[in-house]
Amino acid sequence: MRRVLIANRGEIAVRIVRACFDEGIESVLAVSECDKNSLAAQLADRVVVIGPGSASDSYLSVDRIVAAALYADCDAVHPGYGFLSERTDLVEACAEHSITFIGPPAEVMRRSGDKLTARRTAADLGIPTGSGTAGLQTTDDAIAAADELDDYPLLLKASAGGGGRGMTVIRDREDVRKHFARSSTEAQRAFGDGTIYLERYVEFARHVEVQILADAHGHVVHLGERDCSTQRRYQKLVEEAPAVGLPQDLLDRVRNAAVNLAKGLDYVGAGTVEFLVDTERNDFVFLEVNARVQVEHPVTEMVTSIDIVREQLRVARGESLSFAQDEVVLSGHAIECRINAEDAQNNFLPHPGRITGWVAPQGTGIRVDTYAFPGAEIPPFYDSMIAKLIVHAPSREEATVLMGRALSKLSVEGVPTTIPLHSALMADKEFQHSPVTTKWLENVFLPNWEA
């Protein structure tokens, strides 16, 4: 592998460029017209413009991505996360042109990316999945399925994708009638598939996910777990590793379940197996598999000292993983804050624009993954995240203190950001001293927060 096309943008594109540099691989960046002067474009060895700013005409076009890879004579394509990262048509198009896709094979992605298929596989392996339904196409089907489950509250979920798209809490039959069509339409727009299913909704839960890596030689390992419970409307704002305050036997079962599921799926590459931990029952259920690198992968890298993106490149070259399970040691605690160009006090309204000033914190245990610099443009077409601030310290208490200090030194001018929200979170006594559940931010913190 001598030349990789990076089919993504923003901070993850910068991250992949860095990994290619470390591996001695030439990086070619596919960019839309409005990203021609981005930081990733400045750092990549070569840039290919693939279309206008609209994602559907650039980053979401399989034909344009493959054409760019062929034009630049690339051996491989790295999709990053989001966009086409879990689209089997890109995997298959790459295979047709003898281009290596840096991720799972198409059939593995199909089995893991479809939530219902992954759920059935998990159930067959004895992994707890909770009560749930098959795929549903109509409101009447959903009402009948909910009546059969008779286990309110329930959760409407999209079968074909994640990120909270189409996800709605259902507390009675009328809620099913009211929300099913909207959820299905949202899923259709986001993933090209409006199939919805129902599963039991856990009121007091922690969102715990396990990072796995697998090669084509049968080696599957986990890199511990992350706690992603600090979220709003199913969108993660803060991620941590490891998950503290849970019994070790529960963590062992969650980690083993992730590895067993990856083996059952014949998984290859980097991926994440997500679970919901019921804090009242002290048990867990399987949620889904993300067949790609995750936004929050840096916290795992900080506590394991393993470069997940470089391992992706090695696996894609046909090599074995560079370590075994018994060599994975979790050290200390890491926290990641997603810094978005949003007005958190105005319903998190995104703010495209120009970054006129940028100063990032420096110091031991501090990492900043970003595409920001003075003069950088935040286009209106894409996600509003401009940076990830990550810290690592010996304990969670020390990590929250370090994150608070790092946030105080992070300066972004020209657009509003979520920095004030994160600073208040790190100073909150409840957040500091006890792991929170998935509804804590929305139901407890935000109603009482004043910037």
3-state secondary structure the chain: CCEEEECCCHHHHHHHHHHHHHHCCEEEEEEEHHHCCCHHHHHCCEEEEEECCCHHHCCCCHHHHHHHHHHCCCCEEECCCCCCCCCHHHHHHHHHCCCEECCCCHHHHHHHHCHHHHHHHHHHCCCCCCCECCCECCHHHHHHHHHHHCCCCEEEEECCCCCCCCCEEECCHHHHHHHHHHHHHHHHHHHCCCCEEEEECCCCEEEEEEEEEECCCCCEEEEEEEEEEEEECCEEEEEEECCCCCCHHHHHHHHHHHHHHHHHCCCCEEEEEEEEEECCCCEEEEEEEECCCCCCHHHHHHHHCCCHHHHHHHHHCCCCCCCCHHHCCCCCEEEEEEEECEECCCCCEECCEECCEEECCCCCCEEEEECCCCCCEECCCCCCEEEEEEEEECCHHHHHHHHHHHHHHCEEECCCCCHHHHHHHHHCHHHHHCCCCCCHHHHHHHHHCCC
Give the pLDDT band of residue 162 (cuts 50, 70, 90).
Answer: low
Q: Does domain 205-448 have CATH number 3.30.470.20?
A: yes
Asked if the model's pLDDT at residue 409 lies above 90, the reply is yes
Angle, CA 221 vertex, CA 289 and CA 280 arms, to 5°: 55
In the structure, what pLDDT confidence band is assigned to residue 163 with cuts at 50, 70 and 90? low
Q: Write down the pLDDT at residue 185.
A: 85
pTM of structure: 0.90
Of 162, 210, 153, 205, nearest in space to 187 by CA: 162
- Between β-strands 377-378 and 342-343, what pairing exists: parallel, antiparallel or unpaired? unpaired
In the block, which residue shows the tokens 């399987």? Answer: 286
Catalytic residue among 64, 292, 314, 338: 292
Sheet holding 3-6, edge to edge: 46-51, 26-32, 3-6, 76-78, 100-101
pLDDT in tens, 230-263: 999 889 999 999 999 999 999 999 999 999 999 9
Q: Give the residues across from 154 on adjacent strands.
A: 170, 200
Q: Cα(237)–Cα(218) distance, rounded to whole angstroms?
A: 34
Per-residue confidence (pLDDT) for residue 172, from 0 to 100: 87
Is residue 413 scored above 70 in pLDDT? Answer: yes
Stretch 99-127: mean pLDDT, rounded?
Answer: 92
Report pLDDT for 411.
98
Give the distance from CA 56 to its chain's centroid. 20
> Which pLDDT belongs to residue 16?
98
Q: Which CATH entry fits the domain spanning 129-200: 3.30.1490.20, 2.10.109.10, 1.10.10.10, 3.40.640.10?
A: 3.30.1490.20
Delimiting residues of CATH 3.40.50.20 domain(s) in the chain:
3-102
**Does residue 204 carry a pLDDT above 80?**
no
Largest CA distance in the chain: 58
pLDDT for the residue numbered 94: 98
- What would the mean pLDDT of 179-183 be, rounded to a whole number? 88
The predicted pLDDT at position 165 comes to: 73
Q: pLDDT value at position 83?
A: 94
What is the Cα–Cα distance from 418 to 116, expressed in whole angstroms? 34
- For residue 206, list its beta bridge partners: 277
Mean pLDDT of 173-200: 84
Q: Which two tokens stand for residue 37?
A: 């002067």
Sequence ranges of the chain with CATH classification 3.30.1490.20: 129-200
Q: What is the mean pLDDT of the chain?
A: 93
Residue 122 clears pLDDT 90, i.e. is over it = yes
Give the tokens for residue 442.
């929305």
- 268 vs 138, higher pLDDT: 268
pLDDT tops 90 at residue 227: yes
| Burial degree of 126 (CB within 10 A; 0-12, 13-18, 19+) | exposed
Whether 367 sits among the annotated catalytic residues: the reply is no
- Fold exhibited by the domain 3-102: Rossmann fold (3.40.50)
Q: Is a pLDDT exceeding 90 seen at residue 435?
A: no
